[in-house]
Every structure is written in structure tokens, then in C-alpha cells.
Amino acid sequence: MKPTKYSIINNATIGRNARIYDQVNLYGCEIGKNTKIDSYVYIEEGVKIGDNCKIRPFVFIPTGVVIEDNVFIAPNVTFTNDKHPRAQGEWTRLDTRVKQFASIGAGTTINPGVRIGKNALIGSGSVVTKNIPDNAIAIGVPAKVVGYRPPPLQQNGHKIPSKRIRR
């Protein structure tokens, strides 16, 4: 078995039982307990990833992103943090938050400054340009809400009361 190769720079904090695979770069970020970070993931300084998350291969997460507990991010998802990036000079960071239990499909781009709601589902290949509400299903370029899904059955081992979701 060959040794694992990854970079942990600037004191990244990694929670208990988190799994970090080959070719991952972590720059001064926080990774929660029981979170799995697959190969070829790049996470910049100041990023916070909660407990029990799964980040699949080839994901880029820049400074200013917060990912809450129990979030799934499929392969090739790209988060951005500046609407007008340039190679040199001033830039304006816009923070992004992904709420607990959200799922983001493969190949999705998350534009800066958006909030993806609790238990939201983003379809593969979407471009998220605006906030997505809790429990929403959003797809397309740009991503639009096409429906709603029921809340998760359990949260932290406790049953969540069922509520009717308006469509």
C-alpha cells in the first residue's frame, strides 16, 4: 500500500473520524467529524465544513464558504467567491452558505454570495446564481426552483415532525 499524499497547510483543523483521501489540499480550514473528503479536492483558508458531510472528487471550495452538517457535494462542483475575479488587484469576496442536509449534484457551479437552504437539492450541471429556499429542488442554468421535497426524517438521531410543504 502506497502512502497517502495530501497537503495540510496553515493549521487546518480536522474532526475525529474524518477521512481525507489522496491529493487533497487543505489551507487553514475546518473539517467536521465523520466527514469524508475524496481525492483531488481543494479547500481554501477559512472554509468551514460541518460534521457528517461527503465531498466527492474534484471539488473546489474557496475562502468564504460555510458548509453545514450532513451535506453531500457530488464530483466536479465548483464554488466561487468573487463576481468579477481578476489576476491582480482588488477583489470583493462574497460569502456562500450551504445549509444542513443539502445535496449538490455533479458538475454544479455555485456563484458567490448565495445561500442554499436546508435540505435543498441542486440538480447536476446547474448554475446557482440566487438563494435557494429550504427543501427546494432547483435545476438548470441558471438554477430555478421546480419543486420541493419533504424534510429529512431524522436530524441528529431525533425524528423531525412532518409538515405539509406548499408547492
With bands split at pLDDT 50, 70 and 90, how would you rate the model's confidence at 35? very high
- Three-state DSSP class for 119? coil
Residue 148 grid cell: 420541493
| Whether the Cβ atoms of residue 14 and residue 29 lie closer than 8 Å to each other | no
Query: What pTM was computed for the model?
Result: 0.87
3-state SS, 25-79, equals: EEECCEECCCCEECCCCEECCCCEECCCCEECCCCEECCCEEECCCCEECCCCEE
Q: Are strands 136-139 and 121-122 parallel, antiparallel or unpaired?
A: parallel
pLDDT on residue 128: 99
pLDDT on residue 88: 86
DSSP state of 17: T
pLDDT in tens, 10-20: 789 999 999 99
For the chain, give every domain's residue range: 7-82+92-151
**Which architecture, in CATH terms, is 7-82+92-151?**
3 Solenoid (2.160)
pLDDT in tens, 48-96: 999 999 999 999 999 999 999 999 999 999 999 999 888 888 889 999 9
Residues annotated as catalytic are 84
